[in-house]
Structure 1
């Protein structure tokens, strides 16, 4: 049951994440929303909402309890800045300077980075299943987002740099959260991380630096979706999935995000969907089925235990 819950959480979170990226692109291009402002406001609103859910639905003592020891407070600050804020900003910046498709494709280099990291730390060995899963994930993302044409990746150098940094940030975000989640609920960790990241960004771009009267009702609805579904629920579900899935599995299953982004583009923006993109869809679904049918739960639990013991912050 825990594994099924983890699969549901990471897939649902990835879908909201993907759609949120598409909606954010519309806000950038159609309504000229500033990237710094959007990152700031979504974190400062979503973070307190998560802590509110924790206060009324779970153990409220954890909200302040996480700050009582340097062994958790310092890692939480690092996670908020180098994990949460880094993932948010780099991804949005890549969208702003390029498009959601290229940004998502580059971000999903993260599973490969995680595998390399685990192998270098001798916490995992490269298996045939890993090779198949990596191949399906990368091929799926490539064909989904390019329709088989390299020329469609012709974006600015800034978009590529921010996209690669987004992949690095997502890998760090996935791995670094594990030891914190061993001690505190995901709502507490994600909520505070958002507040930390949002406060840091507010020093660069204040949340009130926007002409609110110039925005239409449609723009406000898009903002609400990006903040609530594309940020709060997406990140919460993704982090919560790490309670029952390994970081590598959560990262792979999160690759459904580009599928959600492409389908949103097809049915919402009415853009064409080529045969190579359908092939990419099949690759992503095949990858998800491969992971979902994995019965080697004992091996997974052992790997998780090793990761939790070795990823400690002094």
Structure 2
């Protein structure tokens, strides 16, 4: 039988990933039916969630001083600013723009191509030919992307070019987001690094999308609740559940359960947004999720051999 602590970890990782996926659908509703701008929502989401994450770190962490001392080192400051602009802001803005031009399901699936860009980057950096497993993953990712954006018909795209462009951009930004801050995370912790990254990105985007400019947006109790869901449940709680699950389960298990994000986004897109996905689009989504599973499972086996 599964131990209670491990079962708890599974539920936490699964719930966090599902909340990320659902928040994409809520954002789609705000963009396409309520007149909200992606840039404005990203600014609000990052500023509010960033402040809340740092407050949480100050209360929960045994090393509260790290919330501010991270700025004492010049090298760390530069790294944190780069992460906030090109990592955190890059992935958030491009992901929401892809939702704006397409839908939450395809935007999330395109973002899941990030591991392929990581493989390509590492292959160029260390001049190493990808392994057989990685080559299979790359092939599956390309095949899945083709089916997702064409539904098997080469002469017509099922989603707009802008949605594809921003979706691939979010995958590249997510690859950077994954690779770049490893030393920062190891020294300062995920809540502090991500919290400051969000605030930096939110401040940067505020110059282009001031949070006080709300003209043209349909404000009501419902839309306010939607925004609250994106910030609280889709960012703060989702991030906490996923990160805290690592106390009970392995990073590999958490990564596998992270596949609930595109699955939840797709299910809610079909049920709530009434978006019909073709058979080839579904196959494409399965291929992309399969890519992540292959790479994650393969990584787990390699780690066991090394231990």
TM-score by length of 2: 0.80
Match of 2:80 in 1: 76
Q: CA deviation at 1:215?
A: 1.6
| CA offsets 1:252-290 (integer angstroms, 9 cap, x no match) | 875553322111112333444554455456546655665
| CA offsets 1:109-136 (integer angstroms, 9 cap, x no match) | 3211100111122286522222334444
Match of 1:16 in 2: 19
Q: Does 1:44 align with 2:47?
A: yes
| CA offsets 1:80-102 (integer angstroms, 9 cap, x no match) | 01100111111112222333344
TM-score by length of 1: 0.78
C-alpha distance in structure 2 between counterparts of 1:112 and 1:241, whole Å:
25
Correspondences of 1:215-226 after superposition (within 5 Å): 215-226=219-230
Q: CA deviation at 1:196?
A: 0.5
C-alpha distance in structure 2 between counterparts of 1:286 and 1:161, whole Å:
22
Contact 1:7 1:292 in 2 (8 A): no
Match of 1:295 in 2: 301
User: Tell me, which stretches of 5 or more residues in structure 2 are unaligned?
Assistant: none
Q: CA deviation at 1:245?
A: 4.1
- Pick the aligned partner of 1:155 from 160, 164, 174: 160
Contact 1:186 1:240 in 2 (8 A): no
C-alpha distance in structure 2 between counterparts of 1:47 and 1:256, whole Å:
24
| CA offsets 1:160-197 (integer angstroms, 9 cap, x no match) | 33233222111101101211111011000000000111
C-alpha distance in structure 1 between counterparts of 2:122 and 2:284, whole Å:
27
Q: Does 1:28 align with 2:31?
A: yes
Distance 1:263 1:137, change over 3 A: farther
Match of 2:170 in 1: 166
Q: Does 1:131 align with 2:131?
A: no
Q: CA deviation at 1:53?
A: 1.1
